[in-house]
């Protein structure tokens, strides 16, 4: 499985805040389709030679132009002016929303949650991991989240996953190392210069990647083909 997953940081929010205040409603949404099959939502994009910049949610993500297969417009949905529904949001909806906010493929984050907790909001491990994304208390504190709140748990876990992908952005095995770090900790990955030889971690990485491959294939089959 190709692991070209060049996810770069969104650290320029303040620099672009004024621009987005003026231009936020001027661009239609779109999806960047990567050569790996990943789809990244963006409000707009810019081509700058060998670099493509995707703008979304007040931040910017950079990709090598060679990693972008193309762009497809998102369907525009007009939200009716109604009071917010009191219907509880499902774990799947929480995960999809967090993935979109953080610029990660929803199928990928769903595959991590499936492996971590099976989408059980009340999941606890004997090691002390909590909730949908099995956050350790120290990680939850680092991201300012209450791990027992499903929405905060998923948001913090998705941000942590994104940060790990950024950490290993220059590695040929970026995705598998990020997954191993999510499971065993980045210290173990750095110490072994790759996936630690732990049976649990090896099985975890394989399980998530296999699940993600199935999710991606199913999404492609479900998408109507163009006539």
Query: Which is it for the CA torsion 124, 129, 133, 139, positive or negative?
Result: positive
Q: What is the pLDDT of residue 182?
A: 97
- How crowded is residue 136: how many other Cβ atoms within 10 Å of its Cβ? 16
Please give the Cα distance from 178 to 25 (Å, whole number): 34
Angstrom distance (rounded) from CA 208 to CA 114: 8
State the Cα–Cα distance between residues 176 and 178, nearest whole angstrom.
Answer: 5
Closest to 182 measured CA to CA, from 94, 105, 117, 119: 117
Active-site option among 46, 72, 75, 116? 116
Taking Cα atoms as reference points, which of 159, 122, 161, 166 lies closest to residue 144?
159
pTM value is 0.65
pLDDT of residue 1: 44
Q: Quote the pLDDT of residue 17.
A: 31
Mean pLDDT of 215-222: 84
CA distance 76 to 30: 10
Contact at 8 Å (CB) between 37 and 216?
yes
Average pLDDT over residues 55-75: 76
pLDDT of residue 26: 32
Confirm whether 206 is a catalytic residue. Answer: no
Q: pLDDT digit string (tens) for 32-52?
A: 777 766 667 777 888 888 888
Domains of the chain, each with CATH number or no CATH = 13-73 (2.30.30.100), 91-219 (1.10.530.10)
Q: Enumerate the β-bridge partners of residue 63.
A: 52
pLDDT digits (tens, 9 = 90+) for 72-126: 876 554 444 445 545 678 999 999 999 999 999 999 999 999 999 999 999 999 9
Quote the pLDDT of residue 65: 83
Range 57-63 average pLDDT: 72
Residue 62 has pLDDT above 50, yes or no: yes
CA distance 110 to 90: 13
Average pLDDT, the chain: 80
pLDDT digit string, tens, across residues 124-174: 999 999 999 999 999 999 999 999 999 999 999 999 999 999 999 888 999
- Would the pLDDT of 3 be above 70? no
Q: What is the pLDDT of residue 161?
A: 96
Task: Compute the chain's Rg from CA coordinates.
Answer: 18
């Amino acid at each position: 499985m190709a692991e070209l997953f060049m996810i770069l940081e969104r650290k320029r929010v303040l620099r672009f805040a004024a621009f987005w205040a003026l231009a936020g409603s001027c661009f239609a949404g779109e999806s960047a389709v990567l050569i790996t099959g990943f789809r990244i939502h963006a409000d707009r994009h810019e081509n700058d030679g060998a670099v493509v910049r995707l703008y979304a949610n007040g931040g910017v993500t950079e990709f090598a132009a060679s990693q972008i297969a193309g762009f497809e417009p998102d369907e525009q949905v007009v939200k009716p002016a109604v009071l917010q529904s009191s219907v509880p949001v499902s774990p799947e909806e929480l995960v999809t929303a967090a993935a979109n906010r953080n610029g990660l493929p929803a199928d990928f984050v769903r595959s991590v949650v499936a492996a971590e907790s099976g989408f059980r909001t009340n999941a606890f491990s004997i090691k002390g991991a909590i909730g949908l994304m099995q956050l350790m208390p120290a990680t939850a504190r680092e991201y300012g989240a209450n791990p027992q709140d499903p929405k905060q748990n998923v948001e913090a876990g998705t941000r942590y996953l994104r940060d790990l992908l950024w950490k290993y952005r220059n590695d040929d095995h970026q995705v598998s190392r990020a997954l191993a770090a999510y499971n065993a900790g980045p210290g173990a990955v750095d110490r072994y210069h790759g996936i630690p030889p732990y049976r649990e971690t090896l099985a975890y990485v394989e399980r998530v990647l296999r699940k993600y491959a199935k999710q991606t294939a199913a999404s492609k089959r479900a998408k109507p083909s163009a006539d």
